[in-house]
Structure 1
Amino acid sequence: MDAKQIIRGLKDWVKREKAIDLNLSDCQEAILEYSLQNIAYANMENLGYAVDTIKNNTGPELFQYLSQVTGRTVSKKNCLLTLSRLLEHPGGEKDPENNSLRLDLEEAPNLQDVYGREQELSKLETWIVTEHCALVGVLGMGGIGKTLLLRKFVDKVKDKFDYVIWKNFKYPALLEDFLTHIESYFFVNNSETTANKKNISQKILSLISFLKQHRCLLIFDHWEQLMITNEISADQREINYDNYGRFLRSVSELEHQSCVVFIGLEIHRQMDIADKFRVRELTLTGLNSRDTQYSQYLLRNFQLSDQGIEKLIEEYQGYPLALELAAPYIQTYHNGQIYEFLKGTLFVHDAITDIFDKHFSRLLNIEINIIRELAHETEPISLPELYQLFPSISQAKISQSMDKLCRTGLVEKNDSQKLPTFGVVHRLLTKYIKNRYREI
């Protein structure tokens, strides 16, 4: 569908589903048509208003109105995807018992086979379904399989919840817009909804009240994107990040029967002081090289020789994305012969380099310096040894940095010795660091 067809379809949908007219001014309709064509505010012509007015007032008001009417988070950035999906699946997924919308996976990835994660799936089910943890963080390197694991988990346990909603922060939302969207979703047939009249604290308490009445599972994917979006200013990003921290603190501290899961590279800083009895963290690592299902998946899908498949998985420490990027290279340039490929140096695809670049862009200088040092150590080292390498930095600061690096899955902690030791978690990461930072 082109932009005009989507707008006509949207008007018909609102009339049919909500029994109201979609009241758009000529200017708003033009903004929507331009946005559906991915045209920037600065290039929108003949609207009758200054660009700053369109960008800061008329445009945001339009997308807030569309979010309220549709019950979905609609922004300039995601309007084509969201409205297209709305019109392709106008009824959403229905609960057969009460025929009300209860499963919103519009922003979730397609369900795929997940190999070798039985232990992690079981742990999540224990925490979320059995122990009723309020807040769960799933952390780890990009490409390690966090999102696919949670998508598989949702498919496994969705019938145990009244509502399941997946929010992808690749399409970042202000907290107030997100809460308005959630409120309109929950209270779509409730005349008491007055989202626009509530401040953020009232909206948070309103949502907590609903989470108390109903068993809900909310998934926040790509959590770190909250602080990356360029759609709002740096000051607004910081305020928005703090607001989400308030929301997560409320989820962890107030009584309810639901769970919020956030997936990302690191936890929100407010989680360090949250109620630990109701909060859990899972840092995802690589797949086991002896997982025959995953081995067969690689062999079958990439036409590789079965000689050396365990060695390949072991060499890449079970890093799913790195393996799936290396496999076509083996098939194309080594005729599928794994041992021939392994004779060379460790293959680091550009996509992996981009992922590590994003990781390092979020680290503080002290954290970068620590992980650079660890990458040049031949063996894992203890905290006292690390303290000696950075004598001008307080031990508390180093310990805090190590805690963050371990949580994000960049550094591995080994408790087998008298004193815990630490090392870079992955050979690919070590090679990346040595290539990116040649001097230390």
Structure 2
Amino acid sequence: MIPYCYNKLNQLFELLRARKCLLIFDELENLFIPNQLAGQCQPQYQDYQNFFKRIMETDHQSHAILISQEKCQEMKYLDCNLYPIKCLELSGLKDINFLKNMGLKDEDSWLNLLTLYEGNPFYLQNIIYCINNIFDGFVREFLAEKELIITKEIEIKLQLLFNRLSPKEQEIVLVFCNSEKLLSREELKTSLDLSSTNLINALESLQNRYLLEKIIEQKIVFKLSSIFRSYLINNYLN
């Protein structure tokens, strides 16, 4: 943990100004409060929050990369014209070249595999291991199961993700599991005993966790991650 000591921070920022440094913070979501809306820092990690705020507002020639499944509250409203900050949302891999040299067969089925697992590298890594072990690398045979296979490793990750959600977010995602169609805000409000404020805040939080996608059709509707939805149906509705 970076100690919030004024002198030590000054020394660090002198180094960041004097040299081109690269700081990488991975799995940043572990700093945030579980069972609350996304991106709220736990009290014991406030030093990190102070550091991130200062590194955004101080002149230096270094770079910091923050990798997280949740958006930081401090970064949501910053004007990119005033602050040198870029937010890159990874929507999933779409190039089948990612799957080459992994022992897979039936290349004409690889794109279907990518799509089924939302291009998520973690999901694909686990599924590829399964396909090689059980199906001898034949992707077409794996897809012929006609079922979204969730390995134990993926299930553990999804369980941790569900446990991090606030109670209101959990209510919302379970409503999606009971519907075969995309849902609008009005339809969700009809199904839930939530005020407009609580519903809107929870929807925004689920988007900040990259679990919910906004789709604009004739009206605005929302789509829950297919893999997350399948996991919830298998574990909470059966």
Which TM-score band applies after superposition, normalised by the shorter structure?
0.7 to 0.9
Q: Does 1:245 align with 2:45?
A: no
Partner residue in 1 for 2:17: 212
Q: How does 1:13-52 map to 2 (within 5 A)?
A: none
Q: CA deviation at 1:433?
A: 0.9
Asked if the contact 2:105/2:137 (under 8 Å) is kept, the reply is yes
Give the partner amino acid of 1:371. V
Distance in 2 separating the partners of 1:218 and 1:405: 27
Partner residue in 2 for 1:225: 30
CA change 1:211–1:305 in 2 (3 A) is same
| Bigger Rg, structure 1 or 2 | 1
Asked if the contact 1:316/1:428 (under 8 Å) is kept, the reply is yes
Q: Does 1:333 align with 2:139?
A: no
Distance in 2 separating the partners of 1:419 and 1:208: 48
Q: Does 1:306 align with 2:107?
A: yes
CA change 1:206–1:240 in 2 (3 A) is farther
CA change 1:335–1:211 in 2 (3 A) is closer
Partner residue in 1 for 2:37: none
Deviant stretches of 4+, over 6 Å: none
Distance in 1 separating the partners of 2:201 and 2:58: 28
Partner residue in 2 for 1:406: 207
Q: Does 1:375 align with 2:177?
A: yes
Q: CA deviation at 1:423?
A: 0.9
Tell me the matched-pair count.
228
Distance in 2 separating the partners of 1:397 and 1:281: 26
- 5+ long unaligned stretches in structure 2: 34-40
Distance in 2 separating the partners of 1:306 and 1:328: 16
Asked if the contact 1:245/1:269 (under 8 Å) is kept, the reply is no
CA change 1:406–1:303 in 2 (3 A) is same
Deviates more, 1:243-252 or 1:254-263: 254-263
Partner residue in 2 for 1:286: 92
Q: Does 1:352 align with 2:157?
A: no
Q: CA deviation at 1:409?
A: 1.5
The alignment's TM-score, normalised by the length of structure 1, stands at 0.47
Q: Helix, strand or coil for the counterpart of 2:87? A: strand
Q: Does 1:395 align with 2:196?
A: yes
Asked if the contact 1:304/1:331 (under 8 Å) is kept, the reply is no
Q: Does 1:316 align with 2:122?
A: no
Asked if the contact 2:17/2:61 (under 8 Å) is kept, the reply is yes
CA change 1:216–1:343 in 2 (3 A) is same
Distance in 1 separating the partners of 2:222 and 2:161: 19
CA change 1:384–1:206 in 2 (3 A) is farther
Q: Helix, strand or coil for the counterpart of 1:264? A: coil
Partner residue in 2 for 1:428: 227
Give the partner amino acid of 2:115. E
Q: Helix, strand or coil for the counterpart of 1:436? A: helix
- 5+ long unaligned stretches in structure 1: 1-172, 177-198, 229-236
Tell me the C-alpha RMSD between the 2 structures. Answer: 2.6
Give the partner amino acid of 2:44. N
CA change 1:203–1:261 in 2 (3 A) is same
Partner residue in 1 for 2:168: 366
Q: CA deviation at 1:352?
A: 0.4
**Deviations 1:214-245, CA, capped at 9 Å, x for gaps:** 333211112123369xxxxxxxx943322211
CA change 1:257–1:436 in 2 (3 A) is same
Q: CA deviation at 1:366?
A: 0.7
Distance in 1 separating the partners of 2:227 and 2:179: 15
Asked if the contact 1:375/1:423 (under 8 Å) is kept, the reply is no
Higher relative CO (Cα under 8 Å, sequence separation at least 6) belongs to: 2
* Alignment partner of 1:269 out of 73, 95, 115: 73
Q: How many percent of aligned residue pairs carry the same amino acid?
A: 25
Q: How does 1:173-212 map to 2 (within 5 A)?
A: 173=1, 175-176=2-3, 200-212=5-17
**Deviations 1:98-139, CA, capped at 9 Å, x for gaps:** xxxxxxxxxxxxxxxxxxxxxxxxxxxxxxxxxxxxxxxxxx
